[in-house]
C-alpha cells in the first residue's frame, strides 16, 4: 500500500479515489476547490503534492473550449511531478487522438487525428511515452452514469426529459451505434492501472458494453420508467453550425461530430483479457444511471 494522488475531483476522480481508499491505499484527492487544494497546472503545487507518491492520476477536466490553452501546462506539470516522485503517471483520456476511422477502435490504431482537440490528446500521450517514465493511459468513450450532468451527452439534457416522457433532440444520427463508458467501470480501470505493473507503458481501452444508439438508450430508460418510447430526433446540422457562430461550446463540438453521425465503436478486449475485468452489463448500468435521475419518481417499480 502506498500514497496515490488523484488530480481532479469530478465523478471519475472521486470514484477512483474512493476505490483506492477502499483497497487500503493512502489517497490524496486534489482539485482547485479541495478536498486537498492544488493547481494541476502549477509545477510547484504538483511537486509538493506528489512527493513520496507511488502513483499520480490525471483526472483533470479543463473547460472544453480551452483545451488547447489549458491542457499543455497541466500535462507537463503532472508528468514532471510524477517523474520527480518516481511515481507511475495514470492519465484519463478519450478516443479523440485516433481521429475518424471505419472500424472498431483498438489501442494499436495510430493517433492520426488532424483536428485540434485530437492533436492535443495525442501530444499528451506522446510526451508521456517519450519521457521514459512509468506511464499508462485509460481511454474511454462518452461517459454515462450517476453523478454526470452537463458533462455527459446522456446527462441533464437527456435523462430528465426521457423520464418526463418528453422528446429528446441529439447532435447526430439517433440510430448510429455508439460505445458508452460507464463511470464506475472507468474508475475500476484507473485503480488497476495505478497498481499493476502489467499496465505500464501503453494505453488501455475501458471495458464498455456493446455499442448501442441514442435511440436505444432513450427507449431503455423509458421502459424502466414504464413510459412509451420517446420521440428522438436530430438537430439539423445547418442549425448547429449557425448557432455555433455565437455559442463556443457548440462550435467546438463540430470537429468531433463524426463520432455521432456513423458507427463509433471501441474494442476493449485487451483490458479484459489481461486483467479479467469486464464492463458492467448495460441494463444494470442504465438502471443505476436512471435511478440517479429520479427513476422512482418517474413511476417505475424498483
pLDDT of residue 186: 98
Work out how many domains the chain is built from and give that number.
1
Q: How far apart are CA 168 and CA 191, in angstroms?
A: 35
pLDDT of residue 252: 83
pLDDT of residue 299: 47
Q: How confident is the model at residue 148 (pLDDT cuts 50, 70, 90)?
A: confident
pLDDT higher than threshold 50 for residue 152: yes
Report yes or no on 63 lying in a domain. yes
pLDDT tens-place string over residues 119-138: 999 999 999 999 999 999 99
Residues 10-42: b if buried by 16+ CB within 10 A, e if exposed: bbbbbbbbebbeeeebebbbbbeeeeeebbbbe
Angle, CA of 206, 196 and 198, to the nearest 5°: 80
pLDDT of residue 242: 83
Report yes or no on 73 lying in a domain. yes
Report yes or no on 108 lying in a domain. yes
The CATH number covering residue 94 comes to: 3.40.50.720
pLDDT higher than threshold 50 for residue 297: no
Q: How confident is the model at residue 240 (pLDDT cuts 50, 70, 90)?
A: confident
Report yes or no on 293 lying in a domain. no
Residue % of the chain over a pLDDT of 90: 86
Q: What DSSP letter does each residue of the chain carry, written as one string?
A: --EEEEE--SHHHHHHHHHHHHTT-EEEEEETTSSEE--TT-HHHHHHHHTT-SEEEE-----GGGHHHHHHHHHHHHHHHHHHHTPEEEEEE-SGGG-S-SS-B-TTS-----SHHHHHHHHHHHHHHHTTS-EEEEE--EEESTT-STTSTTSTTTHHHHHTT--EEESS-TTS-B-EEEHHHHHHHHHHHTT-GGGTTSEEEPP-PPPB-HHHHHHHHHHHTT-PPPPEEE--HHHHHHHHTT-HHHHHHGGGGGGGTS-B-B--HHHHHHH---PPPHHHHHHHHHHHTTTGGGT---
C-beta of residue 252 within 8 angstroms of C-beta of residue 194? no
Report yes or no on 134 lying in a domain. yes
Report yes or no on 84 lying in a domain. yes
The arithmetic mean of pLDDT across residues 127-151, rounded, is 93
pLDDT higher than threshold 80 for residue 150: no
Q: How confident is the model at residue 298 (pLDDT cuts 50, 70, 90)?
A: very low
The arithmetic mean of pLDDT across residues 187-205, rounded, is 98
pLDDT higher than threshold 50 for residue 302: no
Report yes or no on 224 lying in a domain. no
This prediction has a pTM of: 0.95
C-beta of residue 224 within 8 angstroms of C-beta of residue 206? no
Domain hosting residue 69, numbered range = 3-147+180-207+267-275
Q: How far apart are CA 26 and CA 209, in angstroms?
A: 31
pLDDT tens-place string over residues 252-274: 888 999 999 999 999 999 999 99
Q: How confident is the model at residue 77 (pLDDT cuts 50, 70, 90)?
A: very high
pLDDT higher than threshold 80 for residue 197: yes
- Selection from 178, 12, 39, 203 nearest residue 108 by Cα: 203
pLDDT higher than threshold 90 for residue 200: yes
Q: How confident is the model at residue 249 (pLDDT cuts 50, 70, 90)?
A: confident
Report yes or no on 69 lying in a domain. yes
Amino acid at each position: 500500500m502506498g500514497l496515490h494522488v488523484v488530480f481532479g475531483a469530478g465523478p471519475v476522480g472521486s470514484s477512483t479515489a474512493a476505490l483506492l481508499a477502499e483497497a487500503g491505499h493512502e489517497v490524496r484527492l486534489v482539485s482547485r476547490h479541495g478536498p486537498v487544494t492544488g493547481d494541476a497546472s502549477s509545477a510547484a503545487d504538483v511537486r509538493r503534492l506528489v512527493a513520496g507518491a507511488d502513483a499520480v492520476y490525471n483526472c483533470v477536466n479543463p473547460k472544453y473550449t480551452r483545451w488547447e490553452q489549458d491542457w499543455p501546462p497541466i500535462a507537463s506539470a503532472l508528468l514532471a511531478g510524477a517523474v520527480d516522485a518516481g511515481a507511475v503517471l495514470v492519465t484519463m483520456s478519450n478516443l479523440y487522438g485516433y481521429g475518424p476511422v471505419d472500424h472498431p477502435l483498438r489501442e494499436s490504431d495510430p493517433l492520426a487525428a488532424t483536428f485540434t482537440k485530437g492533436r492535443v490528446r495525442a501530444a499528451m500521450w506522446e510526451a508521456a511515452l517519450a519521457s521514459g517514465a512509468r506511464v499508462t493511459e485509460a481511454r474511454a468513450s462518452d461517459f454515462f452514469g450517476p453523478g454526470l450532468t452537463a458533462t455527459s451527452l446522456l446527462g441533464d439534457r437527456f435523462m430528465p426529459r426521457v423520464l418526463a416522457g418528453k422528446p429528446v433532440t441529439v447532435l447526430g444520427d439517433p440510430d448510429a451505434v455508439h460505445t458508452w463508458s460507464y463511470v464506475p467501470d472507468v474508475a475500476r480501470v484507473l485503480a488497476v492501472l495505478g497498481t499493476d505493473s502489467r499496465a505500464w507503458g501503453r494505453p488501455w481501452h475501458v471495458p464498455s458494453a456493446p455499442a448501442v444508439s441514442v435511440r436505444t438508450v432513450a427507449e431503455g430508460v423509458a421502459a424502466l420508467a414504464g413510459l412509451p418510447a420517446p420521440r428522438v430526433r436530430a438537430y439539423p446540422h445547418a442549425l448547429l453550425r449557425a448557432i455555433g457562430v455565437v455559442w463556443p461550446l457548440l462550435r467546438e463540438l463540430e470537429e468531433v461530430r463524426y463520432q455521432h453521425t456513423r458507427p463509433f465503436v471501441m474494442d476493449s478486449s485487451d483490458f479484459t483479457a489481461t486483467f479479467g475485468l469486464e464492463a458492467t452489463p448495460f441494463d444494470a448500468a442504465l438502471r443505476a444511471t436512471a435511478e440517479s435521475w429520479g427513476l422512482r419518481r418517474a413511476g417505475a417499480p424498483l
